[in-house]
């Protein structure tokens, strides 16, 4: 009997290269049939009897994992954020949870720089104005010579630093583990979190959503920022208390923001939508052909390892 692998990611996130790898191993693939994230009930129905799962933005709850046990050996996440997976339940059920570090780093970093440029020049606002027949020019600011504060200097934060250095920006960084090569090559200066928010002209978030980081961008921190500063978030929506950011934008406590992620997605009826000094994208950081192929292949390789009885390379469960 063929091993069953559930592909939770929707069609646009499935690389043919990933599917080919799994099919060549003789696995029976059960695909997400919807152009959306599957619900808990839908996942419960298809996870029964599966040996592995490729997860996209799916919420893999305790109930889903329990329904998959004891056959389920691995949940392979396409990406690095695993806050949608119940890690404690997976640990108790002896199910590996893996990620794909580095696969989408360049894609997310490039979008982050794009958001930074859009915020600095208010590109989205001018686009809307021209479409409506108005000839509105926004007086923006250059990136060269400005201070960029990067919160989280992992794979993605490092790629942002490389690109920001090319723009002539000064780079401050906050991370538990400073990387000497970035100090040497890109003149990155590691500082504490409060210094980032006080001194940076742009703050770009690249931290995971963990208890220590959730809500780190709040009213008190926003009050310490420069009035001409911008917040960029292509990491996790939970890092920002959105009502506090909304007040800061409304009162011009800071100059603007650009967001790719939100506390609730999609952000329906958010007061942030009423503000002019903010740019939005639809959690699209990893949505490039290259990133989808890279993450898909890495996830498939992890499934093949674990289902074959080998140890995974990128298990987040310790």
Options 23, 45, 88, 265, the catalytic residue: 265
Number of Cβ within 10 Å of residue 269's Cβ equals 6
As a dihedral over the C-alpha atoms of residue 257, residue 262, residue 266, residue 272, rounded to 10 degrees, the angle is: -40
Question: Any catalytic annotation for residue 265?
Answer: yes
Query: How is residue 117 written in tokens?
Result: 């440029």
Distance CA 294, CA 78 (A): 9
Options 14, 179, 206, 236, the catalytic residue: 236
Distance CA 94, CA 101 (A): 22
Question: Any catalytic annotation for residue 236?
Answer: yes
Question: Any catalytic annotation for residue 305?
Answer: no
DSSP string, 176-196: SS--HHHHHHH--EE--HHHH
Number of Cβ within 10 Å of residue 212's Cβ equals 9
Number of Cβ within 10 Å of residue 285's Cβ equals 24
Distance CA 203, CA 209 (A): 17
User: In angstroms, how far is CA 277 from the centroid of its own chain?
Assistant: 22
Select from 93, 73, 80 the least CA-distant residue to 312.
73
User: Contact 259/280 with Cβ under 8 angstroms?
Assistant: yes
End-to-end CA gap in the chain: 32
Options 121, 155, 189, 283, the catalytic residue: 283
Number of Cβ within 10 Å of residue 41's Cβ equals 9
Grouping H, G, I as helix, E, B as strand and the rest as coil, residue 205 is strand
Catalytic residues: 236, 265, 283
């Amino acid at each position: 009997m063929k091993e069953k692998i559930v592909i939770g990611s929707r069609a646009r996130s499935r690389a043919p290269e990933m599917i080919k790898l799994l099919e060549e191993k003789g696995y029976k693939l059960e695909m997400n049939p919807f152009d959306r994230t599957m619900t808990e009930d839908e996942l419960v129905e298809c996870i029964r009897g599966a040996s592995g799962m490729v997860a996209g933005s799916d919420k893999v709850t305790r109930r889903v994992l329990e329904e998959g046990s004891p056959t389920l050996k691995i949940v392979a996440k396409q990406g690095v954020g695993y806050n949608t997976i119940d890690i404690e339940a997976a640990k108790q059920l002896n199910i590996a949870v893996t990620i794909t570090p580095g696969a989408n780093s360049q894609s997310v970093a490039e979008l982050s720089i794009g958001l930074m440029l859009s915020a600095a020049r208010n590109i989205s606002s001018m686009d809307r104005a021209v479409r409506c027949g108005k000839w509105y020019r926004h007086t923006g600011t250059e990136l060269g010579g400005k201070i960029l504060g990067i919160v989280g200097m992992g794979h993605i934060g490092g790629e942002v630093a490389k690109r920001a250095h090319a723009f002539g920006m000064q780079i401050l960084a906050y991370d538990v583990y400073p990387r000497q090569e970035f100090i040497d090559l890109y003149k990155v200066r590691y500082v504490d979190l409060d210094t980032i928010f006080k001194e940076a002209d742009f703050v770009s978030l690249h931290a995971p959503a963990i208890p220590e980081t959730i809500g780190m961008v709040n009213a008190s921190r926003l009050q310490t920022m420069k009035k001409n500063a911008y917040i960029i978030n292509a990491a996790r929506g939970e890092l920002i208390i959105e009502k506090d950011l909304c007040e800061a934008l409304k009162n011009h406590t800071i100059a603007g923001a650009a967001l790719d992620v939100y506390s609730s997605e999609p952000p329906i009826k958010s007061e942030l939508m009423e503000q002019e000094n903010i740019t939005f994208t639809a959690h699209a950081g990893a949505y490039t052909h290259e990133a989808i192929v890279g993450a898909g292949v890495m996830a498939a390789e992890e499934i093949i390892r674990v289902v074959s009885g080998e140890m995974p390379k990128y298990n987040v469960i310790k």
